[in-house]
Copies of this chain bind each other. A is one copy, B any other.
């Protein structure tokens, strides 16, 4: 029924091992027999059984993907399809396949990872999230199993290959941009502090202020726990301050969309009344009203480098630990404006 290497060998009049060599494109085989074998494979419609191959060769040519908990609303974020594309591209280039794990809780995810690692289904793993205390990370480290992290490790940075943006700098630049436009009252809206990316971006925000001698105020820093309801409240409070911000840096486009909404309900116009710089530059940023000035963090590249470097790690034991920093750039659209002191002056006259 199924055609095996033996069938091919018989038809080509060679030994099974020869066929195997042809498949592996071994150099020490004559062009002649190589062709003979290829013809036979063609004729029989032969396809190698990857399970058998994996078993014998102890390698799978597939990389495992660890997604964030599917309970996370963040899962809906267009960030994920985009990294996935990048990862997929990097994998395809080296003929690696992709194996996915998900789960509703951290516990389920860890179990799924163990299953796929111990079950020898994958040669390496890409982690799509880095939480503060990540059990998956510690598991992989103690097993010395190859993995790369997208984002920044919470600890042991020097020992974990990861691909990340320079989020501190990126956010500093975004904030600087607003400062240059004349803004002084700039608020920060980010996600949960459990995500390292949030911490980094907040850092950058604070750095920019400090450098410009603008005091960092606690009431100007907001962490939206939920993408939606939570955010509304926070933005309202922010705008209800005696001295409301004239500009906002938001750590994610998706969040920014929610912010935009709330502002609209409050009758606050963007950018006329308030400026916004957001992050990630997904398609959404372009489609928002107004189109958002956003920091492009090159999501695709993040994924691409992750799988590419994971494969290097898998194929070469000696590969050094790496830290890959993907470039970013501010994409200007219509959500920011100069703080028009002239106009304010005029109004006062």
Contact = CB atoms under 8 A, between A and B. Distances in A.
A6 interface: no
Contact of A287 (B49, B84, B98, B261): B261
A97 interface: yes
Given A70-B85, A257-B287, A264-B289, 17 more contacts: A47-B114, A47-B118, A48-B119, A49-B55, A50-B121, A51-B55, A51-B120, A51-B121, A75-B81, A80-B81, A81-B81, A84-B102, A89-B104, A92-B102, A228-B286, A258-B287, A261-B287
Contacts of A48: 119
Contacts of A114: 47
Interface in A276-327: 282-284, 286-289, 291
A51 B49 contact: no
A289 B261 CA distance: 6
B258 A76 contact: no
Interface in A68-89: 70, 73, 75-78, 80-82, 84-85, 88-89
A244 interface: no
A65 B65 CA distance: 14
A108 interface: yes
A210 interface: no
A interface secondary structure, majority: helix
A97 B121 contact: yes
A344 interface: no
Copies of this chain in the oligomer: 2
Interface string A129-161: 000000000000000000000000000000000
Contacts of A73: 283
A276 to B, nearest CB: 14
A116 interface: yes
Contacts of A282: 76
Contact of A283 (B80, B227, B288, B291): B227
A115 B62 CA distance: 12
Nearest to A77: B81
Contacts of A112: 92, 97
Contacts of A47: 114-115, 118-119
Interface in A89-124: 89, 92, 97-104, 108, 112, 114-116, 118-121
24 contacts: A48-B119, A49-B119, A49-B120, A50-B121, A51-B60, A51-B119, A55-B55, A75-B81, A75-B85, A76-B81, A76-B82, A76-B282, A85-B102, A88-B100, A92-B102, A97-B100, A98-B99, A98-B102, A228-B286, A228-B287, A257-B287, A261-B287, A264-B289, A289-B289
**Taking each of A75, A88, A104, A286, which has the highest tally of chain B beta carbons within 10 Å of its own beta carbon?**
A88
B102 A101 contact: no
A52 interface: yes
Nearest to A260: B289
A54 interface: yes
A257 B282 CA distance: 14
Interface in A34-56: 47-52, 54-55
Contacts of A118: 47
A84 B89 CA distance: 19
